[in-house]
Structure 1
Amino acid sequence: MRSYAQTVLFTAVGSPLIYLYAMGVGLASLVDGNLGGNAVNGVSYLVFLAPALLSSSAIAVASEEFTYPIMLGFKWNPTFFGMNASSIQPGQIVNGILISVAARMLLTCAIFYVFMLVFGAVPGALGFIAVPVALLTGLAFGALVMAYTATLKDDTGQLAMLQRFVVLPMTLFSGTFFPLDLLPPYLQWIGWISPLWHGTELSRVFAYGRPEPIWLSVVHVLYLTALLAIGWFWARRLTLRRLNK
């Protein structure tokens, strides 16, 4: 990752600065100006939005690292086959990718959280727990994306469609910019199955003490963990099958 470390750091610093200022400060001033300082869930719009943007940053890293780099390793510059020709096993390749992406994701989320503190968007004493929650959210989504990418023999637009028809709707309909219950009932199911909604809701519990039944917090953790386990297992199976042909 040293070869593009500058890009990683630039996006890790630039994204929270731009998003928190534009959405959390610029848009928040309009929302709070019309609805008051306790505009959403009894807190300011900036405090409400910041945990969602934190989880979204992990999703952004996942959608970047688990798509085209995976295609690169299998097809465009098939380094995975070179690794497999050594004593490294396919499952170890998958584990190594998850660990390396988790390291970048953790750095990105930690920097984002620092900017949340700078902007005064974390009133809760346990707000720092939102960072590992965001990490779990990103890995839960990313493991599934990695497994899906491992099924592709050629990229004929599938990864671009993944961004447009999965990542973008997930961002818009996961209670990110407004509470999920404001959506019509026939659209709320998108949030219920979205890892971003589960991660965002759990992050808000720690970031500002959003009231939530303990059983629902447990459901968030179990759901994200299950997605990560399924994606990890699926990716290992597919990688083993593909590299050993």
Structure 2
Amino acid sequence: MSADIRFDTSTHTDIGKVRRWGWWGVVEHRALLLRSYWTTMLLTGIGSPFIYLLGMGVGLGVLVDGGQGIEGVPYLTFLAPALVMATAMQVAAQENTYGVFGGFKWANTFTAMRLTPMSPAQMAVGFQVSVLLRVLPMVFFYMAALWTFRIGEPLRVLLLLPLGTLLSLAVGFAVMAWVATQRDERGQLSFVERFVIVPLTLFSGTYFPLDTLPGYLQPIGWFSPLWHAAELGRTALYGAPMGAWEGVLHIGFLSVLALATAMLSMRTFRARLDD
């Protein structure tokens, strides 16, 4: 007697597909969630860059330019790339605080995903890619404002997109790695914005050159991903002087930070979900 043994190859195919492309499922899930407030995101995304650049240019920019600008360029030109990078950093940090914590604690999204062939590493990577769905439109709206106000060279403005992406990944994975270790929310998530993101925005050469700060405050900028991204943004936008080794240092810092915190995020996700 022979037994007719058959396997459901479609099931095995689906499992293999999830194991390869599971991270994309996280992106699709997050994209569907964004649909509920895309109108608000669109309105604020379009309006904020134009209003902010107009206010800074007509207001503070007039006072600074009376002293011949900063580093040989109008104040708004000096400020603009740093504002773009600061926005990318802020959005990435915001999405990775309550978004990541909620996925573990409130909505249990990551716990549900763990019941599938999707790995914790795919969840971390997929979530971070989905954050770019919020970051890159904001960067693009700022780019549109720069084109409108004729700040920088038109083609050079496009270089802000990859820089904003790299900064978003570096900051996003760093915040994610910490948030994934938090078991309860007692207000500490808001500390990221108040005591990390805001100080970095103020002390990373965003509104004025870093070397104008007192010597004891300048190290904050040296270790700030925003300062490295802002310096690269100024060189990209209007050709601010930068040596080859400086460029390698800035890009290397952001790349190493993104890679190291990505690996740490994957480990914390696995430890949290396997606990």
Q: Offset of 1:164 from its aligned partner?
A: 1.1
1:226 aligns with 2:262: no
2:156 touches 2:236 (CA, 8 Å); kept in 1? Answer: yes
The within-5 A match list for 1:72-221 is: 72-123=102-153, 125-221=155-251
Residue 125 and residue 92 in structure 1: after superposition, are their counterparts in 2 closer, same or farther (change >3 A)?
Answer: closer
Q: Counterpart amino acid of 1:24?
A: G
Tell me how far 1:125 sits from its aligned partner.
4.5
Does the residue aligned with 2:208 lie in a helix, a strand or coil? coil
> In the TM superposition, what whole-angstrom CA distance separates every residue of 1:12-33 from its partner, at most 9, and x where no partner exists?
212212211122332112211x
**AA partner of residue 27 (structure 1):** L
1:11, 1:225 → 2: CA distance? 30
Choose 1 or 2 for highest CA Rg: 2
Q: Secondary structure at the match of 1:66?
A: helix
User: Are residues 1:5 and 2:38 paired?
Assistant: yes
* Structure 2: distance between partners of 1:169 and 1:244: 35
Give CA deviations for 1:142-178 in whole Å, capped at 9, x if unaligned.
1100111001001112111111111111000000000
Equivalent residue, structure 1, for 2:62 = 29
CA offsets per residue over residues 105-128 of structure 1, 9 Å max, x none?
A: 112111111111111211375232
In 1, the alpha carbon distance for the partners of 2:258 and 2:126 equals: 15
What do the CA deviations read for 1:209-230 (whole angstroms, capped 9, x no partner)? 0011110011110100111111
5+ residue gaps, structure 1, are none
SS, match of residue 84 in structure 2: helix
| Aligned-residue identity in percent | 44
Work out the CA distance in 2 between the residues paired with 1:182 and 1:27.
17
Alignment of 1:26-65 (within 5 A): 26-32=59-65, 34-36=66-68, 39-65=69-95
AA of the residue aligned to 2:86: S
Shift of 1:90: 1.1
- Within 2, Cα distance between the matches of 1:162 and 1:112? 24
Q: After TM superposition, give the deviation of residue 104 of structure 1 in Å.
A: 2.3
The CA distance in 2 between the partners of 1:198 and 1:160, in whole Å, is 24
Do the aligned residues in 1 keep the contact of 2:50 with 2:145 (CA within 8 Å)? yes
By how many angstroms is 1:3 displaced?
A: 1.6
1:130-149 deviation line (CA, Å, top 9, x unaligned): 22112211221111001110
RMSD in angstroms over aligned alpha carbons? 1.3
Distance in 1 (alpha carbons) for counterparts of 2:73 and 2:100: 41
Which letter does structure 1 place at the counterpart of 2:53?
L
Where does residue 239 of structure 1 map in the other structure? 269
Separation of aligned partners in 1, 2:186 and 2:173 = 21
Q: Does residue 1:17 correspond to 2:17, yes or no?
A: no
Contact 1:124–1:209 (CA under 8 A) maintained in structure 2? no
Q: Kindly report structure 1 stretches of 4+ aligned residues shifted beyond 2 Å.
A: 123-127
| CA–CA distance in structure 2, aligned partners of residues 82 and 134 of structure 1 | 31
Write the distance in 1 (CA, Å) between the matches of 2:58 and 2:123: 42
Q: Deviations over 1:4-58 (max 9, x none)?
A: 21222123212212211122332112211x213xx11110001000000000110
Which region of structure 1 is more displaced relative to structure 2, 123-132 or 204-213?
Answer: 123-132
Q: Which runs of 5+ in 2 are unaligned?
A: 1-33
So what's the TM-score if we normalise by structure 1?
0.95
What's the TM-score, normalizing by structure 2? 0.85
